[in-house]
Amino acid sequence: MTELIMAGRPMTDVEDTLRRYCGLPWSGGDPEVWAYAYFDAVQDDFPDEVMPVDVLAAAAVHPRLTRFDFAWFLERRGQLNDLLAHLPDIDLADADIGPLDSLPAVAGSGVDLSLLSKVLHRKRPKLVPMLDRSLTGWYRRQLSAQGASAWPELIRLLASDLRANSHTLGDLQDIAPLTTLRIADISIWMSNQR
């Protein structure tokens, strides 16, 4: 049984959890359908440009996109592409996290940071975590703020946990073609779905 320790809390059965999310056979039953096919498995042909398909794929993991959200991503496409030019395609565990600190300010111009992080995760799946209640809830005991305000602390804590769990997360990549960051995120999210 493979175990991860994230935010000082153990997660067991992460192999089965990952298999379930990815629609693969697992020890507890038949393959299941989650967002994997609609988000993670959607090919990205333009990794340095935010495209409409990135926003549509993010809808699989982010409820209730609005007309305003769609317009915001189209209107800010140039700004987002410039931002991507400053976000290297490297693991969060090994990155200078400083450039990620600008994401709340970018989102502050009119879109939810949670949605922005999910769209940018598609572009930099090793670097940009997806902010959501599951993730902030998992780390809540270590955070001094909540929601989007927790972003700077959260990404640093997550980077530290990715380093501490690097061997286990690397082994889990044999199950599905996902980054270690995404595997950690899925493990946390699925732990909250039990």
Please give the C-alpha separations between residue 122 and each of 32, 62, 99, 141, in angstroms, as whole numbers: 22, 13, 17, 28
Judge whether residue 1 has pLDDT over 80.
Answer: no
Contact 154, 135 (CB under 8 A): yes
Indicate the pTM of the whole model.
0.96
Model pLDDT, residue 147: 87
Contact 134, 140 (CB under 8 A): no
pLDDT per position as a tens digit, 151-191: 999 999 999 999 999 999 999 999 999 999 999 999 999 99
pLDDT per position as a tens digit, 9-35: 999 999 999 999 999 999 999 999 999
| Mean confidence (pLDDT) of the chain | 96
- Single-letter residue type at 27: S
> CA triplet 129, 44, 103: central angle to 5 degrees?
30
Q: For residue 156, which of 90, 84, 98 has the smallest C-alpha distance?
A: 98
Model pLDDT, residue 194: 65
Q: How confident is the model at residue 113 (pLDDT cuts 50, 70, 90)?
A: very high
Other CB atoms within 10 A of residue 149 CB: 14
Query: Which element (helix H / strand E) includes 39?
Result: none
Question: From CA 39, how far away is CA 79, in angstroms rounded?
Answer: 23
Mean pLDDT of 100-112: 94
